[in-house]
Amino acid sequence: MLPVPAKRGKPLVLAWLLACASAAWSIALAQTTPSTVSEAPSASFKPEEVEALVAPIALYPDALLSQVLMASTYPLEVVQAARWVKDHRDQKGQAAVKAVENQTWDVSVKSLVAFPQVLEPMSEKLDWTQKLGDAFLADQKAVLDAVQRLRQRAVQAGNLKSNEQQTVMMEQGPPPAIAIEPAKPEVIYVPVYTPTVVYGGWYYPAYPPYYWPPPPYYYPHPVPHAGFVWGVSIVAVGIMFGRCNWGSSQVNINVNRAVNIDKNFDRGKVGGGDRWQHDASHRQGVAYRDAGSREKYGNGVGGADTRGDFRGRDGAGDRGVGDRGGAGDRVSTSDRGGAGGRDGAFDGIGGGASAQRDIDRGRSSNQSMSTNRGGDFGGGAGARGGGAGGFGGGGRGGGGGRGGGRR
């Protein structure tokens, strides 16, 4: 039996990490691979599809990951917050969070204004954001298990380890889990990485991993190391209020920190043991995907019968709400790591005229953002360059056709 650290959360040395990767983690991985996971009857997503959804964020620091997962359940507020960030470029980090304290958004969304390199792609890739939130609402354990499977693969590939930006730790469990914390407390670096490189390849052709190149505005010198690109540091004192509870497969929150961010935060909406609970009042008319979530949170929010209300409203077909490109640019898979179909953004939006107006404003804002920033997320005029997940080029670029070269 391999020795384990005596103290929970103690940083691992590389040799111990690799030893565990070849022993205990390989056993855990074998026990939890999608081929052997029995999917609950009400689950909306297959395990391999969940892995594709969490691929671009699974290697975020735990606190940031938890807050992204929470915020993804409020996609329209994400759009509103990203629009605010676009209009307030001078507000950064803690100052930005302080500036939005009187907004009506959920505390998780407010916290992300300190991380525009996270918030803006969440707004531009609304179909991904909504699917991620739907998967998280349907089954938190399935999402967190998918994160752990990907982290195990990244360690086994030799691409996830402690460095000057992060500390990789083993939590003893049960079950044992890989935790990622900032190397310096509350100084956060947000990585962008190529899933097909970092995870040692990708095993599900039908569900290629979502991916977007590092936006130049936040990653001015994108020199990848083992598939990673690190942006500038963000001082996040008091901003990080969430954590991934790997032992219980749920997200917990620090209520006092949440109140510091949002003085109107309702302590009564926290479950036992500071367990995060979705607040349907921030859903703003976006329908819930699966019957279980609709029954639990719906309260009059449109259901499956509203699916497609906002698909192709301008006659252009199944367009993503935040997609760039010309009038005929259809949603493609160029922001993912390979081929495979993708639903239109915001399938199943309900809530009437108010939700429709927000969606329309979100589309206009995203298109304007893409134009003004000169291709931050499109990487210029071409398709993403090179092989299995290179960082050259971008997604859909140029004058409105589909971006070339899928990975």
- Three-state DSSP at 212 gives coil
- Specify the pLDDT at position 221: 75
* pLDDT number for residue 158: 94
What is the chain's alpha carbon radius of gyration, rounded to the nearest angstrom?
Answer: 20
Amino acid in position 159: N
Compute, in degrees rounded to 10, the torsion defined by CA atoms 276, 279, 283, 284: -150
Whether the link from the prior residue into 208 is cis, omega within 30° of 0, is no
Q: Is 11 helix (H, G, I), strand (E, B) or coil?
A: strand
For residue 175, say if its preceding peptide bond is cis, omega within 30 degrees of 0. Answer: yes
Using the 8-state DSSP alphabet, how is residue 304 labeled? G
What is the per-residue pLDDT for 46?
A: 95
Question: Do 17 and 24 form a contact (C-beta atoms < 8 A)?
Answer: no
In this structure, what token pair is assigned to residue 91? 């507000």
Closest CA to 150 of 105, 201, 112: 201
* pLDDT given at position 76: 97
User: Tokens 């109140």 — which residue?
Assistant: 259
Query: What is the per-residue pLDDT for 231?
Result: 85
The C-alpha atoms of residue 330 and residue 386 are separated, in whole angstroms, by: 23
**Secondary structure string (H, E, C) spanning 222-282:** CCCECCEEECCCEECCCCCCEEEECCCCEEEECHHHHHHHCCCCCHHHCECCCECCCCHHH
Angle in degrees, 0-180, between the axes of helices 140-156 and 126-138, rounded to the nearest 10 = 110
Q: Say what angle helices 24-32 and 140-156 make with each other, to 10 degrees.
A: 140
Residue pair 281/265 in contact (Cβ under 8 Å)? The answer is: no
The identity of residue 48, as a single letter, is: E
pLDDT of residue 336: 58
Pair 349, 66: CB distance under 8 Å: no
122: enclosing H helix or E strand: helix 116-124
- Per-residue pLDDT, 29: 42
User: What is the residue-level pLDDT of the chain in tens, covering all 407 positions?
Assistant: 444 444 444 444 444 444 444 444 444 444 444 433 333 434 579 999 999 999 999 999 999 999 999 999 999 999 999 999 999 999 999 999 999 999 999 999 999 999 999 999 999 999 999 999 999 999 999 999 999 999 999 999 999 999 999 999 999 878 899 999 999 988 999 999 999 999 999 999 999 999 988 888 888 876 666 678 998 899 998 899 999 999 999 999 999 999 999 988 888 888 888 999 999 999 999 999 988 999 999 865 544 333 333 333 333 333 333 333 333 333 333 455 543 333 433 443 334 444 445 444 544 544 444 444 443 333 333 333 333 333 333 333 334 333 333 33
CA dist., res. 359 & res. 349, Å (int): 9
- Report the largest interatomic distance among the alpha carbons of the chain, rounded to a whole angstrom: 62
